[in-house]
Amino acid sequence: MDLSGKVAVVTGAGRGLGRAYAEALGAAGAAVVVNDVDAAAASEVAEAVVAAGGKAVVEAGAVGGSEVAQRLVDTAVKVFGRLDVMVTNAGILRDRVLWKMSDEDFDAVVEVHLRGTFTCARAAAVRMREQGEGGRLILISSPAGQRGNFGQTNYAAAKAGIVAMARTWALELARANITVNAVVPVAATEMTKTIPVFAPILEEAERTGDPLPDWVRKDEGLGTVEDVAGLIVYLASDASAGVTGQAVGIGGDKLTLWSHPQEKAVAITDGGWPADAIAAYWDGGAGFEPETYGIPAPKGA
DSSP 284: G
pLDDT of residue 210: 85
Q: Stretch 128-138: mean pLDDT, rounded?
A: 98
pLDDT of residue 125: 98
Mean pLDDT of the chain: 94
Q: Enter the pTM of the model.
A: 0.94
Quick one: what percent of the chain has pLDDT higher than 70?
Answer: 97
Q: Stretch 28-32: mean pLDDT, rounded?
A: 98
pLDDT of residue 57: 98
Residue 283 has pLDDT above 60, yes or no: yes
3-state secondary structure the chain: CCCCCCEEEECCCCCHHHHHHHHHHHHCCCEEEECCCCHHHHHHHHHHHHHCCCEEEECCCCCCCHHHHHHHHHHHHHHHCCCCEEEECCCCCCCECHHHCCHHHHHHHHHHHHHHHHHHHHHHHHHHHHHCCCEEEEEECCHHHHHCCCCEHHHHHHHHHHHHHHHHHHHHCHHHCEEEEEEEECECCCCHHHCCCCHHHHHHHHHHCCCCCHHHHHCCCCECHHHHHHHHHHHHCHHHCCCCCCEEEEECCEEEECCCCCCCCCCCCCCCCCHHHHHHHHHHCCCCCCCCCCCCCCCCC
pLDDT per position as a tens digit, 172-228: 999 999 999 999 999 988 767 766 767 788 888 888 988 888 888 998 898 999 999
pLDDT of residue 284: 86
pLDDT of residue 194: 67
Active site residues: 142, 155, 159
pLDDT per position as a tens digit, 261-276: 899 889 999 999 999 9
pLDDT of residue 212: 87
7-257 CATH pick, 3.40.50.150, 3.30.470.20, 3.40.50.720, 3.90.78.10: 3.40.50.720
Residue 300 has pLDDT above 70, yes or no: no
